[in-house]
Amino acid sequence: MDWEIFSIIGTVAFALSGAVIAMEEEYDILGVYVLGLVTAFGGGVIRNALIELPMSLLWSQGMYFQIALICITIVFIVPRRFITHWRTVWDPLFDAVGLSAFAIQGAILATNKGLPISAVIVAAMLTGIGGGMIRDVLAGRKPLVLRDEIYAVWGMLAGLCIGLGWQQNAIMLILLFVLVVGLRMISLLYKWKLPRRSLREKARV
């Protein structure tokens, strides 16, 4: 049940995100659906390949495909002013929700498969960021996770907590979900960044 709840939350959040970005790039209706679906399911496909789960599992997620298609359709037909408002106000939150939900879902799946904690952390991170990375590449944008702002770290944190046994308690799972969402939003608000080093020469005055 925990897995299903987090799968639904993540599917809704990332399907909406992918569809909106596709429309920002002026994709046609097919492109909107493709980018929405890729964002929602891309991370799971990468994770399955990593932990050696059958790729055919993707086609057994009929309910999630229906949820994603409904969300994408709603985004495509609502007036533009609502999408603009959503993009400005709600998109960062939905992105954080998708990251947290999918990271926890991926970590739970890896844990149930009996994998070591290192694999659980990687599975959580890839499930949380994989769809967004594919989305950004297809949209011709620099992947969010490769920028200097903190993003993938919060997915890794979720994997670490699940690997340490948080999945044994439903209340702890909910707290972890809220914690990851909160940390992602705080890092955006205060512009927390990871260290970086540039090899470009600064322009001389």
CB count within 10 Å of CB 127 equals: 35
Report the predicted TM-score, pTM, of the whole model to 2 decimal places. Answer: 0.86
For the segment 112-116, the average pLDDT, to the nearest whole number, is 91
Average pLDDT over residues 122-142: 91
204 pLDDT more than 70: no
For the ranges 47-51, 112-116, 201-205, the lowest mean pLDDT is seen at 201-205
The alpha carbon of 127 is separated from its chain's Cα centroid by a whole number of angstroms, namely 7
pLDDT band at 202 (very low <50, low <70, confident <90, very high): low
- Write the single-letter amino acid at 95: D
Q: Are 21 and 135 in contact (CB under 8 A)?
A: yes
Mean pLDDT taken over the chain? 87
pLDDT of residue 205: 47
What are the pLDDT digits (tens) for 78-93? 998 888 887 777 878 8
pLDDT the model gives residue 2: 56
DSSP, collapsed to helix, strand or coil, labels residue 128 as: helix
In the structure encoding, which two tokens stand for residue 33, read together? 């659906």
- For residues 22-51, give the mean pLDDT: 92
